[in-house]
Amino acid sequence: MPVPAVTTSAAGSLTLLEDEDKDIRVYALNHLLTIVSQFWAEMADKLPYLELLADPVSKELPTDNRPYAALLISKIYFYMGYLDEAVEFALKAGVAFEKEQSGGEFRETIIAGCLDRAIDQTNRGEKIDPNLGQIVDSVLRSTSGENGKLAMGLALSLRRLDLVEMIYLTSRAPAQSSTSAANAKSSRVTHDEGLLRYVLAEVVSGASGNESWPTEFRTNLFNLLLRLFHLNPSPDWNSITTVWAQNNDVDAAGEALVKLIGEQEYLDVYQIAFDLNEVAPQAFVDGVRRKLAEKELGPPAENPEDDDPKVVLDNILRGVTSAELFLNFLHKNNKTDMSILKGTKETLEDRYSIYHSAISFTNAFAHCGTTSDRFLRENLDWLGRASNWAKFSTTAALGLIHRGSWINGVRVVRPYLPGGSAPNKFSEGGALFALGLIYSGRKEYAEEELRRGLAEGNDPIVQHGAALGLGVSAIATADEEIYEEIRTNLFQDNATAGEAAGYAMGLIMLGTASERAFEEMITYARETQHEKIIRSLAMGIAFLFYGQTDRANGVIQMLTEEKDAILRYGGMFTIALAFAGTGNNRAVKKLLHVAVSDVNDDVRRAAVTALGFVLFRNHTQVPRVVQLLAESYNPHVRHGATLALGISCAGTGLETAVELLEPMTKDPVDFVRQGAYISLAMILIQQSEASSSKVTSTRELFAKVVADKHEDPMARFGASLAQGIIDAGGRNMTLALSTRAGTLNMNAIVGMALFVQFWYWYPLAHGLGLAFTPTAVIAVDEKLRVPKLDLKCEAKASLFAYPSTEKKVEEKKKDKAKAAVLSTTARAKARERVKKAEAGEAMDTDDKPEETTPASGSAPTPKKKTPEKPAEPSSFTLPNMSRVTPHQLPFVVFPTSGRYTPVRPIDHAPATVPTKDRLAPSGGAGASGSIVVLRDSTPDAEGEYIELDKGLWPAPTPAAAAEETAQPAAVTGGAVTAGGEEEEEAEVPAPFEYPFEE
């Protein structure tokens, strides 16, 4: 009888599988492997027997054939849908699985399952099974070319540094990818540095689940990246600088700078110094300066020369050069629309302190860093109406307007300091706070004045301003002397002075996780009866654990279990600052749990707000996370949802976030609307009408709410602040919680955390000034001059244009009401018109004459054609020292031919593609305040340069300015003209008390 050509059942082979002859069993097993895709259901009944055959100690099959039994079981489980079991037996199959045909669905699925299992075991700290490791290695070693980034991502997830190195060393750079620096040195890049930059971006951005990485692995990874970057003849110093900052490797940074100085590569040295000043904390930069001083490469103590490379380098590292350049940029490009400020001032009744403070904040934000006090000088009568804490806020606003003006800063506020020409305790306290804001992170410029204001015997209001000023100016310095002086003020148990002391102690010890400071703060918070002090200490503890993901866990657990709601409130912000930008799942779950379960509204609001800090690097997920919270019955939760959207999506223009906030601008609760206005401004800052269709309508909404006298004061306050935020820094600043390199922007995160405390204390709204970052590209040559040159932007100009200046809309004259006409009169007039028509007389009628039809043969009047608008060019040029927004940065390039070439590219980020005149969503907004050093091909030739305003930076050294005692020439209501230049003299407003109606 002939054997059938088509197999219709697996029953025969399954029977042969139980034969006594081993050779017959092997034959049956091989045949079953060929038909398993058809008859796996029949074979499933024999799984127990098949598992016996696959057992390594079983004698039912020869040793070489047992892996094939395991492979058969794996395939049966695969078709049954039990993937975990399929992976388990595929691993037991070993050699048999490796012989499987590549590209098949079974093999690909099993490999994916193996990779998932390997990553899971790695994250749990378990040792990977040898068979599993062999499969993973074979996959990664066979992955190359276009899949290089995928392989790198897998190697990172598996924490295999050997594979990271292997993938990079086997890569080859694309022929067209050569940086300008490489071109300058005619060096051919062998390996694809894009892979290393990809790894660095993944690590810095908090992706790849790296919040669970051990510190040792992270350090080893950075060391490996550093070594691999140095393999190329022209190292990518921009990325290397980021590695130094992330790894806190002061020694490596110092050694590299010493080596480059020895080789007289001053252009690279200056560029590295600018980048370090941008992405590294001040403590790191100070450590590098000490390393240089040890090698006798610091500035000379006596008779320093301005053109000495050592002096130039030290000024760059200290931030002096950057501050002068950005101050000039902001002053020169100030595009503040004064009509908005004027309209807001005229519509908000300044006899109410909340409105007076609102205008102060709006003006401070709009003119942040520009040194323009025009609004203050034009409204001296309005300034004089300030009283009590409104006067404090108004004077402190000078600190934002003159932020970064290190030379003129003391002169600006001197009349209001204790012992000045305008004695008033609120002005004195505000002036001390203003000093701290001007010299944020630079305590040496104003330390003496601030410590004098903090001394015992002063009024608590003055001490309040001095403590805040010291906290902001000495941020993250961990200065023990200042800390102890502020702690002494805290122990006086005065609510006013103690409140500022709590914030200041946390700011000074920012990110140190000091056990001593924590014990002192938590102990006093539990002992004092002043809620203001408890709240400030709770926030101080949050500042203490900034960025301390591991060390903060125990403190967070302790604070969230406190009976005092204010301390639980501090626990939420401790999560926010400790896990800022990490997207940590446990932190998010904890915040969501508290947001819906805590009995206190303040704690719930803080928990939702904290989501914005934790998730700002994954900002596209935030609208989905807070969508249900935005619809909560609890208005405090809804307010927190608005701030979470604003903080996480700041500067991104994310449409889904704007769409979620728009209905909340009509919320029945006033402070929810307030939060929606502020958050809309944060999201749409520096967005043009072409890039976001909501910009114009949102600006109109702010103006409408501010002008509506029937609107609630809280909502008008929020709309007024929003007007200042969306136009921050003369429309030349953005809100960016990360730097251009992707690292955390410490000042911005801390400033944002301070700002949201305005809910309890309005003067803390000035903290937002710390979060504003100038957006510009400034190119300088070796002598730090600013050449006149044009950069090219490969996108339409409308995408990044300044908003159009608001035009005054003239009121239309009302038409006079038509007189009523009786029907009999109308009929009489009609008969009269008919008679006149018959007599050939022209009719005198009120009706509009109908258009006459042209006579036959006459040419019809041609209609005027509306000229078509010419198509907008796809690119445009912009001069040096111009505004370049974060979204615009990837499109900006230097001219390929010309006298100057940049030492490093402006940006390594992949360019987003404009679609339908809009930018595709990017991965979040980072700061773009970038200073690029140029290589001059003809250094001896004369050139044209942009002149910097000497009035903004008159003294050659900061020390000379600090010692200067001259009074400003034009002190006007708490302001001086830019650079102290003489204009019209004006008297200081009398410090009278105005009877505010609270």
Any alpha helices (H) in 777-933, and if so which ranges? Answer: 823-838
Q: Which of 760, 771, 680, 774 is nearest to 732 (CA)?
A: 774
Percent of the chain residues past pLDDT 70, beyond the cut: 82
Q: Which residue ranges form the domains of the chain, and what is each CATH number? A: 511-615 (1.25.10), 775-803+873-908+925-938 (no CATH)
- For 155, residues 6+ apart whose C-beta sits below 8 A from its C-beta are 140, 161, 163, 164, 167
| Residue 851, pLDDT above cutoff 50 | no
Q: Check if the beta carbon of residue 469 is closer than 8 Å to that of residue 436.
A: yes
Q: How far apart are CA 70 and CA 87, in angstroms?
A: 10
Confidence band (pLDDT; 50, 70, 90) for 154?
confident
Torsion (CA) 920, 922, 926, 927 in degrees, nearest 10: -20
CA–CA distance, 249 with 270 (Å, rounded to integer) = 19
Cβ-based neighbour number of residue 621 at 10 Å: 14
- pLDDT band at residue 971 under the 50/70/90 scheme: very low
At residue 577, does pLDDT exceed 90? yes
Compute the mean pLDDT over every residue in the chain, rounded to the nearest whole number: 81
CB burial of 90-113 (b: ≥16 within 10 Å; e: otherwise) equals bbbbbebbeebeeeeebbeebbeb
Nearest to 123 by CA among 212, 238, 244, 243: 212
pLDDT confidence tier of residue 210, bands split at 50, 70 and 90: low
H and E: helices and strands count for the chain: 47, 13
282, 247 in Cβ contact below 8 A?
no
Please name the residue ranges forming H helices in 561-694: 565-578, 585-597, 601-614, 622-626, 635-648, 655-661, 670-684
The whole-number average pLDDT for the span 968-989 is: 38
Among candidate residues 717, 701, 703, the one with its CA nearest the CA of residue 359: 717
On whether the CB atoms of residues 771 and 735 are closer than 8 A, the answer is yes
- Mean pLDDT, residues 218-236: 87
Task: Provide the CB-side half-sphere exposure for 217 (13 A, CA).
Answer: 18
Tokens representing 576 are 């926010």
Place of tokens 């630079």: 442
What is the per-residue pLDDT for 987?
44
| pLDDT computed for residue 68 by the predictor | 82
| pLDDT for 983 beyond 50 | no
Measured CA angle at 257 (ends 253, 258), to 5 deg = 115
Most confident of 200-204, 496-500, 851-855: 496-500
Q: What is the pLDDT of residues 680-729, one digit of tens each?
A: 999 999 998 888 888 999 999 999 999 988 889 999 999 999 999 999 99
Tens digits of residue pLDDT in 885-928: 888 888 888 887 778 888 887 765 544 444 444 444 444 455 45
Q: Which residue has the higher pLDDT, 363 or 63?
A: 363
| Rounded-to-integer distance, Cα 682 and Cα 734, Å | 8
Q: Is the CB of residue 960 less than 8 Å from the CB of residue 387?
A: no
Task: Kindly indicate the confidence band of residue 198, based on its pLDDT and cuts at 50, 70 and 90.
Answer: confident
How far is 889 from 775, CA to CA, in rounded Å? 9
Q: Give residue 142's pLDDT band: very low, low, confident or very high (50, 70, 90).
A: low
CA dist 521 and 534 (Å) reads 9
Rounded to an integer, the average pLDDT of 125-141 is 74
Task: Confirm if 338 and 374 have CB atoms less than 8 A apart.
Answer: yes
For residue 534, pLDDT over 70 is answered with: yes
CA distance 29 to 43: 11
Categorize the per-residue pLDDT at 363 as very low, low, confident or very high, splitting at 50, 70 and 90: very high
- Average pLDDT for residues 459-470, to the nearest whole number? 92
**More confident of the two residues 259 and 154:** 259
Mean pLDDT of all residues in 170-197? 61
Q: How confident is the model at residue 463 (pLDDT cuts 50, 70, 90)?
A: very high
- Residue 755 is predicted with a pLDDT of 95
Percentage of residues in the chain having pLDDT higher than 90: 33
Range in 14-28, 463-477, 824-838, 927-941 the model is least confident about: 824-838
Calculate the CA dihedral of residues 504, 505, 509, 511 and round it to 10 degrees: -80
- pLDDT-derived band of residue 446, with 50, 70 and 90 as boundaries? confident
Query: What is the structure's pLDDT at 174?
Result: 66
Give the residue, 860 or 58, on which the prediction is more confident. Answer: 58
DSSP secondary structure of 342-409: HHHHHHS-TTSHHHHHHHHHHHHHHTTTT---HHHHTTHHHHHT--HHHHHHHHHHHHHHTTT-TTTH
Indicate if the pLDDT at residue 467 is higher than 90: yes
For 520, the token pair is 């002192």
CA distance 251 to 237: 16
Q: Which residue has the higher pLDDT, 250 or 23?
A: 250
Burial class of residue 930 (count of CB atoms within 10 Å of its CB; 0-12, 13-18, 19+): buried
Q: What is the rounded average pLDDT of the residues 523-542?
A: 93
pLDDT at residue number 501: 93
Distance between CA atoms of residues 281 and 638, nearest Å:
35
Q: In the prediction, which pLDDT does 813 show?
A: 46
